[in-house]
Amino acid sequence: MKPRGSGRGRRTRRTGNTASAVAIVLVAGIAPLHVSAQAPRWAVDLNGARIEYDSIAPLNAPSLSALGEWQRPSYFGRLTGSITGFEGSGWSSQARGELAGWTSPLGPRNLLRVELGGSAAGSRHSSGFDAFIANMDARLHVRGRSVGGWAGATLASAKNAFDSVAVRGVVPGAGAWAQTGWVRGTLALSATRLSGETYPEGRLAVSITRGPVDVTGYAGIRGSPVSVPDGDEAWAGASAALWVRANLAIVVAGGDYAADVLQGLPGGRYFSVGLRLTRRRSRPIPITAPAPIVYTPEAARAGSISFEVSGAQTVEIAGDWTEWRRRPLEQDDDGRWLVPASLTPGVYRFNLWVDGSRWVVPEGVAEVDDGYGGKAGLLIISGGS
Residues near 358 by beta carbon (within 8 Å), at least 6 away in sequence = none
Domain boundaries, the chain: 18-278, 294-381
Contact by Cβ (8 Å): 71, 349: no
Along the 385 residues of the chain, how does pLDDT read in single tens digits? 333 333 344 334 333 344 444 343 343 333 333 333 334 578 999 999 888 876 667 888 899 999 998 766 577 889 999 998 876 668 889 999 999 988 878 776 677 889 999 999 998 888 888 889 999 999 999 877 678 899 999 999 998 888 778 889 999 999 999 877 678 899 999 999 888 889 999 999 999 887 788 899 999 999 988 777 777 899 999 999 998 987 899 999 999 988 888 877 778 888 999 999 987 676 544 434 445 566 676 766 666 688 888 778 889 998 888 888 888 998 887 788 888 767 777 778 888 998 888 888 887 677 776 666 667 888 877 764 4
CATH class of 18-278: mainly beta
Say which DSSP state 54 is in.
T
Question: 294-381 has which fold?
Answer: Immunoglobulin-like (2.60.40)
The confidence score (pLDDT) of residue 340 equals 75
Spatial distance between the Cα atoms of 94 and 83, rounded to a whole number of angstroms = 7
* Residue 210, beta-bridge partner list: 213
374-378 LR contacts (CB < 8 Å, sep 24+): 376/349, 376/350, 376/351, 377/349, 377/350, 377/351, 377/352, 378/285, 378/289, 378/292, 378/347, 378/348, 378/349, 378/350
The confidence score (pLDDT) of residue 343 equals 74
| 154 CB neighbour count, 10 Å cutoff | 20
The confidence score (pLDDT) of residue 34 equals 34
Spatial distance between the Cα atoms of 290 and 365, rounded to a whole number of angstroms = 9
Q: Smallest Cα–Cα separation from 51: which of 87, 22, 31?
A: 22
Report phi then psi at 320, rounded to 5: -55, -40
Classify burial at 311, counting beta carbons within 10 Å of its beta carbon; exposed 0-12, middle 13-18, buried 19 or more. exposed
Domains 18-278 and 294-381 share a fold: no
Spatial distance between the Cα atoms of 272 and 356, rounded to a whole number of angstroms = 42
